[in-house]
Amino acid sequence: MMNTQNSIQWAATILHEGIHAELYKFVDQVHNREVNPNDRKKLFDLYKNYKGLKSMSSRAQHNYMTDKYVIPIAKAIRELDNNKYPLEYYMGFGWEGLKANAHPSLLTNDEFNEYLRLKSIVIDNTNFNPNDCN
């Protein structure tokens, strides 16, 4: 299979998956009584809502990420791209993988499509090189 993602897309994917890892770690720490579940009460409320569903943890996490991480991911990718464009251009990176779980009042299809259009401009024009990261 051919790799079709460029470095900035990989960075966004790593951020998204890294957040999943952090959330799984937090849940594990709660089960081991190392942290207080009320530190992320909404996450556990979502886990309770999806209890019994095969995709419980993924759906709960994606809903939580939609609420807490879309803008931070967009800001991080914008920073990697040397703040070349306004934040809206990077929102598609933040929404990547989360749109399917978003309530339409949070993000309409038209808004999402506009974010994807702006994201493609970033992808086509980025100078991000992971070898330049310190």
Contacts of 124 (CB under 8 A, 6+ apart): none
Tokens of 30: 């709660």
Q: Tell me how far apart the terminal alpha carbons of the chain are, to the nearest angstrom.
A: 30
| SS3 category, 6 | coil
Confirm if 37 and 28 have CB atoms less than 8 A apart.
no
Per-residue pLDDT of the chain (134 residues; tens, 9 = 90+): 445 668 999 999 999 999 999 888 888 888 788 888 788 888 877 777 776 555 557 788 888 899 999 999 999 999 999 999 999 999 999 999 898 877 778 899 999 999 999 999 999 999 887 766 65
Residue 22's alpha-carbon distances to 15, 28, 61, 68, 108, in angstroms, are: 10, 10, 10, 13, 28
